[in-house]
Amino acid sequence: MKQTIPDNVKRYDSPQSAGNGMTELTPSPNPTRTLIGIAFGTLFWNSISIILYKYQGDICDKESAIMLLGLFIVVNVVLFVAFCYFLVFYHIGRPTLKISSRCPRLGDNVALTWKLPDYRSITHLTIILEEFENVECTKCTSEDDSTPRKSVIASIKLMDTAEKREIKSGSIEFKIPGDAMHSFADYNCQIIWQLKLQAAKKWMDRRFEYTINVQPYEV
């Protein structure tokens, strides 16, 4: 069941109004790991290419050596562009999202703050709290059917604004639904809670997902 913007979402006049003790969230997947993976892949490909190019040159196979050199240049250009993309969009201009509790409980009030360094180029900001279920089919016979099935349980819009002042930075307080299911992981089923931030731009939207661990009621 999808929900609209709840009435109990409270906005603050400034990020400092939400209080201290905030914890910064890391996007999932972590872009730093992606950058390291691209850099490692580049080094590995370059090492293999240099060895093959030297081998082809030694046996006087000039045509193969030229083709390998062209492929070497193309792949490095693609990897360089990918590296720059992740560096600019996920590090230099990455939003700062902080939460009062990384592991809130069902029914808890949670404070959330954000800050976008490149807010001038953003036309619209949306923050959504989403709960979804991932189910893996253990009886499937094909690879396509074995792909985990995602089913959205609840989608709560916490912020939806086009005001530059609110896009730049802001704070809200919201309540984790008390009648929902807490975070859960089994061998073929998962209940996942995420905060989703979408920054709309004229030429390319930016989306970030932050996983939080929602705990059950304290007994």
pLDDT tens-digit profile, the chain (219 residues): 444 455 667 765 544 444 567 888 887 765 566 667 767 777 777 777 777 666 655 555 667 667 777 777 777 777 777 777 666 666 556 788 999 988 899 999 999 999 998 888 889 999 999 999 888 755 544 555 555 677 888 899 999 999 999 999 999 999 999 888 889 888 778 899 999 999 888 777 788 889 999 999 875
Cβ contacts of residue 3 below 8 Å, gap of 6+?
A: 154, 155, 156
**Which of 169, 194, 165, 193 minimizes the C-alpha distance to 181?**
193
* pLDDT score, position 92: 59
Question: What is the pTM for the complete model shown?
Answer: 0.68
Name the CA radius of gyration of the chain, rounded. Answer: 23
* pLDDT score, position 15: 47
Q: So where are the chain's domains? A: 10-26+97-212, 32-91
Determine the CATH number of domain 10-26+97-212: 2.60.40
Strands (E) located in 30-182: 96-99, 109-115, 122-135, 149-161, 169-175
